[in-house]
Structure 1
Amino acid sequence: MDVSVLTQKLSDNARRIQVLLAGASLEQARWKPQPAMWSMLEVIGHLADEEQYDFRVRLDYTLHRPGERWPPIDPEGWVIAHRYNEGDLTTTLERFLTARAESIQWLRGLHQPDWNATYTAPFGVIRAGDLLAAWVAHDLLHLRQLVELHWACLAQDVVPYQTIYAGEW
């Protein structure tokens, strides 16, 4: 595992997320294809909270506080509790980008971390390296989700026309 490559991917993914949200109106950012699905604003709110309260914090505990319990998180519950969809897109995106920049700086400042350091979670043992890999993978899951939201919004906006000529989604 090349940590500098993964750290760069986190930096690149922040820019990708920013680009996927560029130009979205507040109405589009709050739109959901279905009530149970997340909006773009909920995705970026989730990413901002994850950046502040999950990955960096839990990686820090695993590397530097062996034996201490991770602080609790509730990513699904935060969507409602933190009222993501009522927020401002620009402010929420900036909160994510600022937190991500702090994470990148923190990662680059680590001195010979033990990527095999472990934490025993309710779901099993996880290594520090697993957390870093999952952090990058988490971005990709939500990048895909943002692209899917763009697709669904487009499909709705072009009715009565169709996008089938583009290929199957």
Structure 2
Amino acid sequence: MNFDMNEAIQVLKSTPGTLTSLLAGLSDNWLHTNEGEETWTPIQVIGHLIEGEKYNWIPRLELIIQQGAAVSFPPFDRYAHLTKESESSLDNKLSEFQKLRMQNLNRLQALVHTEEQLELKGNHPQFGTVKIRELLSTWVVHDLTHMSQILRIMAKRYNQDVGPWIEFLRILK
């Protein structure tokens, strides 16, 4: 097993700043591009990450600690950000994500202190029994997945413009 709480927190802590550095100040053409029908734009990905901070990671962690596997996690609507119309600017979304993430990391560190706690089990509505270690590992990989997704979306905006170099640009394949 490779999971290390301190290393996980390093990635989780860096995600908001990484996304801010990548996206802040970009034109709407970059922020509102997607990969086709039923795919997300970079700004929608940030909305999804915000929803996860509010309703996924820490609420599930708290449920495991408080009730173990006796109660199933409430479902998390992975698409809720698409139905919530927001006039919020990208800067406001990034700021909200940063604030929520810092609060959640503080909560995580207040709740989980030992290796033994990482083995506590909860009940996922789809997967059945899951451990805190798996939940936290998934949180990290979820961040990395969406950062990769944003980069892929942005790269594909120039898919037809790179000409023959497409052969060497794995992100476009």
2:168 corresponding residue in structure 1: 167
Instruction: Write the mapping of 1:89-168 to structure 2, written as runs, cut at 5 A.
Output: 89-113=90-114, 114-122=117-125, 123-155=127-159, 159=161, 162=163, 164=165, 167-168=168-169
Gaps of 5+ in 2: none
Note the residue ranges of structure 1 that are not aligned, 5 or more in a row: none
Counterpart for residue 71 of structure 1: 74
Q: Is the 8 A contact 1:26 1:88 kept in 2?
A: no
TM-score, normalisation: structure 2 = 0.83
Percent identity of equivalent pairs: 25
Moved over 4 A (4+): none
Deviations 1:72-116 (A, max 9, x none): 32112x1321136x6421111111111111111112223535111
Name 1:6's counterpart in structure 2: 8
Aligned-partner residue type, residue 148 of structure 2:
R
Judge conservation of contact 2:24–2:91 (CA < 8 Å) in 1: no
Q: Offset of 1:35 from its aligned partner?
A: 2.2
1:56 to partner: Cα distance: 1.3
Residue number among 39, 43, 46 corresponding to 1:44 in the alignment: 46
Q: Which amino acid aligns with 1:62?
A: I
Query: d(CA) in 2 for partners of 1:162 and 1:14?
Result: 33
- Following superposition, the deviation at residue 71 of structure 1 comes to 3.0
Aligned mate of 2:64, from 62, 65, 72: 62
For 1:57 and 1:163, locate their aligned partners in 2 and report how far apart those are by CA, in whole Å: 48
Relative to the length of structure 1, the TM-score reads 0.85
Residues 111 and 35 of structure 1, relative CA distance in 2, 3 Å threshold = closer
Alignment-mate amino acid for residue 140 of structure 2: V
**SS at structure 2 position matched to 1:36:** coil
Change (3 A) 1:4 1:80: same
Q: Which residue of 1 aligns with 2:83?
A: 81
Q: How many residues of Structure 1 are paired with residues of Structure 2 in the alignment?
A: 164
